[in-house]
Amino acid sequence: MTDRSDAERTRPNAANEIALERAELLRVLSPEQLARLRPQLRERPVQPHRALFFEGGEAEGLWILRRGQVRLYKASASGRVTTLETLGPGEIFGAISALEGEVYPASAEGVLAGSAWCLPRSTLMQLLASDPRLGVEVLRIVSSRLHQAHQRLHAFAQDSAPARLARALLDAAQGGEARVTRRALAESAGTTVETAIRVLRRFEREGLLHGQVGLLRLLDAEALRRVAGG
Amino acid sequence: MTDRSDAERTRPNAANEIALERAELLRVLSPEQLARLRPQLRERPVQPHRALFFEGGEAEGLWILRRGQVRLYKASASGRVTTLETLGPGEIFGAISALEGEVYPASAEGVLAGSAWCLPRSTLMQLLASDPRLGVEVLRIVSSRLHQAHQRLHAFAQDSAPARLARALLDAAQGGEARVTRRALAESAGTTVETAIRVLRRFEREGLLHGQVGLLRLLDAEALRRVAGG
DNA sequence: GCTCGGTTATGATGATCATCATAGCGATCG
DNA sequence: CGATCGCTATGATGATCATCATAACCGAGC
């Protein structure tokens, strides 16, 4: 629960660009290592609703978000979608596939415009083999993601839709407001758009927030935290 | 979904003991490394319903299950419990906490009797710093756990109770039978005991399985897989 | 300008599932 | 041996939430 607020605090604003050497993964690298790495990177644009890769596609490597926002998600045959993680500048993704298998285990698409670097799998493997600190750093990151996933798993198994929505809202908020659509929030909270709208309207009537199109202003974050269950 | 059946196949039978050098983490170590590591290990008994550690407790280090079965779980204030992972001989746990923070992010308790080694945090850090291959290996393991967690997250968000129970049942089964109580299955599937019992009785009436106390024989695994949604 | 798609809403309806209650059964323990 | 506890079972009931339908609103694009 505390690491949620950590994520809130430490995630850089999605609108800001991050320098390569400040990205969560690469902080541990020396300037020389970084210099050798830089030419290997492929930069790709990130656009809202534009996929970076799809679940089942061949895994290219490790991604580092430079600017904008990206979400990882899974889609069912029925068309329902679950957002697994939402990432901001400096955060990495696709690490699972680079290590575990040949294919991406989830899809990724842009939420806010920006760009991302892609570090090819082979280069990553070389780097990992050459410097133990890098492996430990990636491990730290992936471990913290696993921890988050476990928390959400417990929440999905036990909490009501309002509780999950309140939590998703707090997670998405920056500076007292969350720039997300009801649909996006529903997919993060594992519910439907209609339920999300109804619940958020109730929050609004109770004075917990103020809603506009694609924007939710938190008026009583404390009460929302109570609803979220902690 | 395919890695689920992988887990089924590759997880050693909980009753069998595993040699230290065959544990998933330590396979990559040289005999010399292993010899240096061995005296650092503390062996602890694993007993059904006996906790190894609790969420929030100070993290000692990395655990390696030698024999028996262990589950990681989270409990709510309301008393409801979610099983996050179930582990067999040779598998590691507590890796998150050894890297991420000072406290365990979940609780662990025995399911089947056996024992586990505990590798102190400091020793692990030393090892990680000395040999890049070890870090990559832990990373591979943690990544695969994250992948599993993502799958379950999607399932919890989208699937019905019968679908989640069928999947939990398939995951728990070894050689066509699952030695679990209805309660344990419910906690793995994120539902209640009563619902688990009702659903499993329905499966039984439909000829998909045969139930006894603490034992479920799969009669039609194919049909169960269909119910599980894939 | 006018359609079209996405977002926000709200109602009606029904399925699903948690909760509470009760009970039989077997094992364990004093 | 009786009591107790955990597991399995089933019914009754109600809350929650998904689904389907409808509609207003707004911006983008033809």
- List, for residues B66-114, the tens digit of each pLDDT value: 999 999 999 999 899 999 999 999 999 999 888 877 899 999 999 999 9
A160 touches strand D (CB under 7 A): yes
A181 touches strand D (CB under 7 A): no
Cβ–Cβ gap A158/B82 under 8 Å: yes
When CB atoms are compared, the residue of B96, B132, B143 closest to A99 is B143
Same domain for B145 and B178, yes or no, is no
- Residue B195 tokens read as 């619902």
B27-63 pLDDT, tens digit each: 999 999 999 999 999 999 999 999 999 999 999 999 9
Q: Quick one: pLDDT at residue B11?
A: 59
A201 touches strand C (CB under 7 A): yes
Same domain for B103 and B183, yes or no, is no
Would residue B48 count as lying in a domain? yes
Strand D nucleotides where any atom sits below 7 Å of a protein CB: 6-12, 16-21, 26
Q: Cα–Cα–Cα angle for B4, A62, B230, nearest 5°?
A: 25
- The CA distance from B210 to B204, in Å, is 6
Cβ–Cβ gap A136/B128 under 8 Å: yes
Same domain for B194 and B131, yes or no, is no
Q: Mean of the per-residue pLDDT values for chain B?
A: 92
Q: Is A226 on the interface with B (CB under 8 A)?
A: no
Mutant choice from A72, A85, A142 vs B, greatest count of B C-beta within 10 A = A142
Would residue B216 count as lying in a domain? yes
Q: Cα–Cα–Cα angle for A85, A115, A186, nearest 5°?
A: 30
Cβ–Cβ gap A157/B82 under 8 Å: yes
A182 touches strand C (CB under 7 A): yes
- The CA distance from B74 to B84, in Å, is 7
Same domain for B56 and B110, yes or no, is yes
B48 touches strand D (CB under 7 A): no
Q: Which of A5-14, A29-38, B208-217 has the lowest mean pLDDT?
A: A5-14
Cβ–Cβ gap B99/A132 under 8 Å: no
B165-186 pLDDT, tens digit each: 999 999 999 999 999 999 999 9
Identify the bridge partners of residue B161 per DSSP, sorted by sequence position. none
Q: Between B191 and A79, where is the model more confident?
A: B191
- Residue A230 tokens read as 């902690």
Last residue of some domain: A128, A155, A182?
Answer: A155
Would residue B1 count as lying in a domain? no
Other C-beta atoms lying within 10 Å of the C-beta of residue A35? 10
Nearest chain A Cα distance for residue B149, angstroms? 6
pLDDT grade for A102, boundaries at 50, 70 and 90: confident
- CATH number of the domain that A221 lies in? 1.10.10.10
Would residue B63 count as lying in a domain? yes
Contacts of B131 (CB under 8 A, 6+ apart): A132, B29, B33
For chain B, percent of residues with pLDDT exceeding 70: 93
Note which residues in 56-95 of chain A have CB less than 8 A from chain B.
Answer: 72, 74, 76, 78, 80, 82, 84, 95
Q: Quick one: pLDDT at residue A8?
A: 42
Same domain for B60 and B113, yes or no, is yes
Q: Is B145 on the interface with A (CB under 8 A)?
A: yes
Q: Where are the alpha helices (DSSP H) in chain B?
A: 2-10, 31-37, 95-100, 121-130, 132-158, 161-172, 182-189, 193-205, 221-228
Distance B102 CA to C5 C1' (A): 50
Nearest chain A Cα distance for residue B147, angstroms? 7
Last residue of some domain: B149, B182, B205?
Answer: B149
Same domain for B145 and B164, yes or no, is no
Contact B168, B188 (CB under 8 A): yes
For chain B, percent of residues with pLDDT exceeding 90: 82
3-state secondary structure of B56: coil
Same domain for B145 and B40, yes or no, is yes
What average pLDDT does range B136-142 have in this prediction? 94
When CB atoms are compared, the residue of A72, A139, A191 closest to B138 is A139
Same domain for A138 and A191, yes or no, is no
Looking at beta carbons, which residues of chain A come within 8 Å of B157?
A: 80, 82, 156, 190-191
Would residue B24 count as lying in a domain? yes
Last residue of some domain: B115, B149, B183?
Answer: B149
Same domain for B63 and B136, yes or no, is yes
Q: Is B129 on the interface with A (CB under 8 A)?
A: yes
pLDDT grade for A4, boundaries at 50, 70 and 90: very low
What average pLDDT does range B134-148 have in this prediction? 95
Entry pTM:
0.94
Which residues form the domain of B63?
Answer: 11-149
Same domain for A147 and A217, yes or no, is no
Domain count along chain B = 2
Q: Between B57 and B26, where is the model more confident?
A: B57
Same domain for A26 and A88, yes or no, is yes
For chain A, percent of residues with pLDDT exceeding 90: 82
Whether the per-residue pLDDT at A1 is higher than 90: the answer is no
Would residue B188 count as lying in a domain? yes
Cβ–Cβ gap A78/B158 under 8 Å: yes
A160, closest nucleotide (Cα–C1') = D16
DSSP label at residue B93: E
How would you write chain A as a 3-class SS string? CHHHHHHHHHCCCCCCCCCHHHCCCHHHCCHHHHHHHHHHCEEEEECECCEEECCCCECCEEEEEEEEEEEEEEECCCCCEEEEEEECCCCEECHHHHHHCCECCCEEEEEEEEEEEEEEHHHHHHHHHHCHHHHHHHHHHHHHHHHHHHHHHHHHHHCCHHHHHHHHHHHHCECCEECCCHHHHHHHHCCCHHHHHHHHHHHHHCCCEEEECCEEEECCHHHHHHHHCC
pLDDT grade for A74, boundaries at 50, 70 and 90: very high
Strand C nucleotides where any atom sits below 7 Å of a protein CB: 6-12, 16-21
- CATH number of the domain that B26 lies in? 2.60.120.10
Same domain for A148 and A196, yes or no, is no
